[in-house]
Structure 1
Amino acid sequence: MDSTPRLYVIDDDPFCFEMIALLLRGEGYELRYLDDSEKAFDQIREGRPHVVLSDLMMPKVSGIELCKQLKADPQTRDIPVILLTGIDDEAYLTRCVDAGADDFLDKGISAPVLRARIRSMLRIRAHYDLLREAMRLREDFANIVIHDIGNPLATIVIETDDLLACDPRADQVESLTTIKNSTRRLRDMAHDMLLLAKIDQGKLHLDLAEYDLAALIAEAAGHAAPLVRRRKLNLQVTRSGEDGDAHPPVCECDRNLVLRVIDNILSNAIKFSPPGGRVEIGLHCLGGSEGVPGGRFRIEIEDEGTGIPEALREKIFEKFEIGQVKREVPQIGLGLAFCRTAIEAHGGTISVCEGRSGRGTRMIIDL
């Protein structure tokens, strides 16, 4: 925390600010007066004060609405907010608390009480800062560990390839292939965790360029082909509005991220499909013209598995959320958390619903 605590006072009446400044004289605070509640959110977001004191009743944006804005934004939600009011109405005060206000005071408050409340809010802010720093250190340590895991995992894959090249028995080939695929999966999970951390911290740079989504889907289908054959599945790739290869579905995206998302969801669809079942990948143009960058596209991946209970359909996208979508296979939602974060970084959406046949799962990606 800075050595001099900064307090922003938002009120359309300058007399109220003068009274607060008088009551806090000698406390060593840096006070700033904001008389336009409509501009206050941006000014608070930019200035990052330690405490905000806001009038409740203002002509443009009320104190309650301003508080809601501040608490909804990751950049400002940890700033303590005190709402000032002359209204002694239980319903109104309840609305203040529901809006996320950390405290509320009567405008006729005495200097000792106001000073004590400000000190309390500053302690809360200090605890927020300490917690944020502890979380940052923990995440940095975890990211270092995850990054370093990649080297031994790569070694396992290389050594497994060498063993597979030594003409092993058929049963050994199956075991070695399982080891290799599982190691690659673990390596991909570690990579997803690093990407998630970068996206959350706003440090991920999207390598945007124009790509043919049909080609990306074909590549993902190629990655899945060995597992599809092993499980004797029928993998179908469809495309609506297709006009040969003259008008490819061009989308501006980060190729590697989108391909990882398709790989991840397709892998889940294959894993949860019964042997001999069908998995379908559909590509649809939602708007604009195919072959012209800037159009909107939908990718649907559908399987005939057991499906996902409606109560779990949002939870599976949360980090480390543990669900049980198949009785013998407990699931940790890291992969799907990565998928949602990666697609939302493109300005798109991802959702899940029941398959068209009334069974299975249909994942919907809009880009």
Structure 2
Amino acid sequence: MLVVDNEQYIQEVAKICLETVAGWEVLTASSGKEGIVQAENHQPDAILLDVMMPDMDGIEVCQHLKKNPLFHHISIIIVTALSDKEDLARCLDAGADDFISKPINSIELRARMRSMLRIKSQYDRIQNTMQLRAEMMQTIVHDLRNPLIGIMLGCDSLKSLGMPDRAQKRLDQISKTIEQMRLLIDDILTIGRIEAKKLFLDLSNIDIVEMAKSVIDDFEPLTSSKQITVLGKFPQEAAYISADKNLIRRVLDNLMDNAIKFSPQQSFIILQIECLPKNPDRPDLIKIQVIDSGIGISPEQKQVIFEKYEVGNIVTGVSQIGLGLSFCKMTVEAHHGEISATNNQSQGATFTILLRRVVPDE
């Protein structure tokens, strides 16, 4: 428990009430800045925070703490002599979970603190359950590799037996499906590592123009079968980024695969790379865009389309799992980049990635 108040008397009253009577360990701070330091160092279960302090008032402290994801779950009770409804609303808008009026009543203080700690306890239980679920899911997904490898080896063995053409075509279809499943498993495992903050990026300088050209070449059989024209718009010179080659390639593959899925036959897709003009206020950037001719994205979907298992518009005959764009977002952000989606002027959608440009060592 942390009590932040510039009045020594209030600190002592709260300390006696919460520590001596209720048995909680109580830390104190005499200013807003000191309170922030104490909160960062000790991660208290709840904070009792005075509004009126000289250097940094309670509302500023509350806003500062709640901006940090580490403190989202920590309950903050504002202590105030203010009674105006607008002032109380400001406290709640700043992120406070409750408030108590001065002079402090010990019975009310203990009751409100117990209420906040019950909420914190429930939050901890939910977090533990979610962590357990995530770990179980990662284990299950990881174990899916073993039977998949067995199917792949069996398929390769059958191919070597000189099967009839019809059987060979079926085996080729099975091989493609196995590869899709393998990539999906890799995406799920990567998402789990990013969420657990255990992802290791194997960084190297990559010519993103060459990679984009390779993506177009590799998807050519699929685009030809749908009579889709893919236009590559690239700068004349090489454009380098510092990135994990395999992960960024998966991002481009996912975006291109989505564009092909949702674009009708005899349409076009644009894969465009642009080196943005230099700006002293930001790092040098490379803009990557995948522009399709599909059904577009509604304003509502723009808010959630990068969330896990969000599939947007349901399209008949199109496989939609809801992990591809989530993988793209997490991977791009792991590279300190940005990804966004917008509608085209006539039809379709544009997915834009911004990544830092680097100058490779000679």
Q: Give me the TM-score of the superposition, normalised by structure 2.
A: 0.88
CA deviation digits over 1:282-307, x for unaligned, max 9? Answer: 11101459xxxx73101111122222
Cα-Cα RMSD: 2.3
Partner residue in 2 for 1:136? 131
1:4 equivalent in structure 2 = none
CA apart distance, 1:72 = 3.5
Structure 1, 172-181 or 303-312: larger mean CA deviation: 172-181
Query: Deviation at 1:337?
Result: 0.6
- How far did residue 281 of structure 1 move? 0.8
CA distance in 2, matches of 1:167, 1:232: 32
Tell me how far apart the structure 1 counterparts of residues 296 and 154 of structure 2 sit (CA, whole Å).
37
> Contact (CA 8 Å) 1:320, 1:332: kept in 2 or not?
yes
1:127 equivalent in alignment to 2:122: yes
Match of 2:349 in 1: 361
> Cα gap change, 1:282/1:198 in structure 2, threshold over 3 Å: closer, same or farther?
same
Alignment of 1:338-353 (within 5 A): 338-353=327-342
Q: Secondary structure at the match of 1:185?
A: helix
Instruction: Give 2:245's aligned amino acid.
Output: R
Deviation, 1:89, is 1.6
Q: Does 1:16 align with 2:6?
A: no
Aligned length: 351
Give the stretch that moved more between structures: 254-263 or 300-309: 300-309
Mapped partners of 1:98, 1:87: distance in 2: 15
Kindly indicate whether the alpha-carbon contact (under 8 Å) linking 1:306 and 1:325 is maintained by their aligned counterparts in 2: no
1:52 alignment partner, SS class: strand
Alpha carbons of structure 1 residues 117 and 326: separation in structure 2 relative to 1, 3 Å? same
Q: Does 322-331 or 306-315 show the bigger shift?
A: 322-331
Matching residue within 313, 316, 328 for 2:305 = 316
1:187-336, aligned counterparts within 5 Å?
187-240=182-235, 242-243=236-237, 248-288=238-278, 295-324=284-313, 326-329=315-318, 331-336=320-325
Bigger mean CA deviation after superposition, 303-312 or 206-215: 303-312
SS in 2 for 1:189: helix
**CA deviation vs aligned residue, 1:90-132 (integer Å, no higher than 9, x gap):** 2222232333322211121222222222222222222222221
- Structure 1 residue runs without a partner (length 5+): 1-6
CA–CA distance in 2 between the matches of 1:106 and 1:251?
55
- Structure 1, 83-92 or 139-148: larger mean CA deviation: 83-92
Answer yes or no: is the 8 Å Cα contact 2:45–2:75 preserved in 1: yes
TM-score under structure 1 length normalisation:
0.87
Q: Would the aligned equivalents of 1:354 and 1:360 in 2 still touch at CA under 8 Å?
A: yes
Gaps of 5+ in 2: 356-362
Partners of 2:87 and 2:7 lie apart in 1 by: 21
Amino acid in structure 2 at the alignment position of 1:159:
G
The residue identity in structure 2 corresponding to 1:229 is: S
Given residue 349 of structure 2, which amino acid in structure 1 is its aligned partner? T
Q: How has the CA–CA distance of structure 1 residues 95 and 331 changed in structure 2, closer, same or farther, with 3 Å as cutoff?
A: farther
> d(CA) in 2 for partners of 1:169 and 1:61?
79
Q: Which residue of structure 2 lines up, in the alignment, with residue 51 of structure 1?
A: 46
Percent identity at matched positions? 34
3-state SS, counterpart of residue 366 of structure 1? strand
SS in 1 for 2:144: helix
Deviation at 1:335, TM superposition (A): 0.8
Counterpart CA distance in 2 for 1:172 and 1:276 is: 30
